[in-house]
Amino acid sequence: GQNIDQPTEMTATEGAIVQINCTYQTSGFNGLFWYQQHAGEAPTFLSYNVLDGLEEKGRFSSFLSRSKGYSYLLLKELQMKDSASYLCAVQGTNAGKSTFGDGTTLTVKP
């Protein structure tokens, strides 16, 4: 099966940098997703990592270490609109099946 851990809540200041960690233990691994979900809205895709290393996309970057079962999402130059829940999801080797963590609620303060 899959077990995914991420912090429940984080708080950061506007303009700062925040790193949201995700650790996983899986019986199979195909890739790892990060999604953003604002309160009352559907999740939206942020990133997908298959290989080890850092993927940068504007203010957001995602890192993966498969040997350590570890990923992080890095948000730079935080804006108030970045306040949301960030979901880590591991795609196993079963076609289509992704297991989601419970999400990290990020609050950005002025």
Q: Out of 22, 32, 103, 108, point to the residue binding another protein (CB under 8 A).
A: 103
**Radius of gyration, alpha carbons of the chain:** 13
Q: How far apart are alpha carbons 76 and 3 in whole angstroms? A: 28
CB of 16 to another protein, least distance (A): 25
Q: How many residues bind another protein (CB under 8 A)?
A: 24
Decide the pairing of beta strands 2-5 and 18-26.
antiparallel
Report the alpha-carbon distance of residue 79 to residue 93 in Å, rounded: 36
Q: Is 14 in the site for another protein (CB under 8 A)?
A: no
For the CB of residue 82, give the shortest distance to another protein in the complex, in Å. 19
In the region spanning residues 19 to 58, those forming contacts with another protein, defined by CB under 8 A, are: 30-31, 33, 41-45, 48, 50
Contacts to another protein from residues 77-96, by CB under 8 A: 87, 89, 91, 94-96
> In this structure, which amino acid lies at residue 29?
F
The answer to whether the beta carbons of residues 99 and 90 sit under 8 Å apart is yes
Q: Is 101 in the site for another protein (CB under 8 A)?
A: yes
